[in-house]
Amino acid sequence: MASSSFDASSSSSYTYEDYKETADWLLARTEQRPRVAIICGSGLGGLADLLDKRNVFPYGDIPGFPQSTVPGHAGRLVFGELSGRPCVCMQGRFHFYEGYGAHTTAYPVRVFSLLGVETLVVTNAAGGLNGRFDPGDVMLIRDHINMPGLAGETPLRGPNDQRFGPRFPAMSDAYDRELSALARRTAEEQGLGGGSLREGVYCFVGGPSYETVAECKLLRLLGADAVGMSTVPEVLVARHCGLRVLGLSLITNKVVSDYASEEAANHQEVLETTRLRSQDLQRLVSHVIAKI
């Protein structure tokens, strides 16, 4: 395992040189020069298996990288080609509920920027708040609600380094409209457009507990269509760095919004739904990347 001086639990201790050290370490060990980065959600790491000419790096070997501790997250960084495009793929991401600070959860995205990545594709498993959504649907993320961020828990907190981006980045265009339109067209070509492709607002919460009935009702009133425990910190940093972002949620379950219900959300249900529908999402992502 590579030695590292980074403190993965620290909230804002990273410097430009820290990110550059990680990027330079990777660039010295692979000939791939990715232009697209993909972050895989729970159970969706099979996207990385589609890459050709792969170079695989366990997170534990990479200076500065924390460890992924969640079932369904393999903890590997995979370089290769997808549909002929040079890509880098994260098999597993980092979450607040694992004990990491906001800066650590989004650490890889700044590294990707220094690698030359221009487009970030984020995928996640999410609970369906919108009553019209069914488990197995794919939701194209149009916008997000950042619950921890509204209280100041954000990877952009602290001193700003202009080499990455501006002090006050706009988020009204967080999800690239051209990429979203491309994803819609591609989904229609694949037969997903008629029913199982949705579009909506993703709400980010800290986890690891699933939401109460009252919280689900509140989030729905706020305009959220799906809820999950990831993605938004990565999107904030990506946009701060000037990367284009495409976001896709696989709806794995309907949230419990009725006190009379005997159902309860669980992680095994999430992984089972992703197992059944992951190929559709993988095919959509690979075809979109081919057209970028």
Confidence (pTM): 0.92
Contact (CB, 8 A) for 71 and 13: no
Residue 40 vs residues 68, 69, 90, 152, 249: alpha-carbon distances, Å: 12, 14, 6, 26, 10
Annotated active-site residue in 113, 249, 253, 278: 253
> Is 144 marked active-site?
no
Q: Is 253 a catalytic residue?
A: yes
**Catalytic residue from among 4, 81, 171, 267:** 267
- Residue 40 pairs with which residues in a beta bridge? 91
The answer to whether residue 42 is catalytic is yes
Tens digits of per-residue pLDDT, 120-159?
A: 999 999 999 999 999 999 999 999 999 999 999 999 999 9
Q: Which residues pair with 58 in a beta bridge?
A: 76
| Amino acid letter for position 222 | L
Distance between CA atoms of residues 121 and 33, nearest Å: 16
Which run of H or of E encompasses 282? helix 267-291
Is 106 among the residues known to form the active site?
Answer: no
Whether 73 is catalytic: yes
Residue of 23, 102, 125, 183 with catalytic role: 125
Q: Quick one: how far is CA 52 from the chain centroid?
A: 22
Q: What pLDDT does 1 receive?
A: 40
Total Cβ atoms within 10 A of residue 56: 16
**How, if at all, do strands 138-146 and 119-128 pair?**
unpaired
Active-site residue, from 42, 113, 249, 286: 42
Q: What's the CA gap between 239 and 249, in Å, rounded? A: 19
CB count within 10 Å of CB 9 equals 12
The two structure tokens encoding residue 94: 């980092």
Residue ranges in the chain whose pLDDT is less than 50: 1-11
Of 14, 37, 73, 234, the active-site residue reads 73
CATH of domain 25-291: 3.40.50.1580
Q: In whole angstroms, give the CA distance from residue 141 to residue 25.
A: 33
Options 97, 196, 215, 269, the catalytic residue = 97
Catalytic residue of the set 98, 144, 180, 226: 98
Q: Rounded to an integer, what distance in angstroms lies between the CA atom of residue 124 and that of residue 207?
A: 14
Q: Active-site residue 97, yes or no?
A: yes
Q: Which of 113, 230, 249, 286 is catalytic?
A: 230
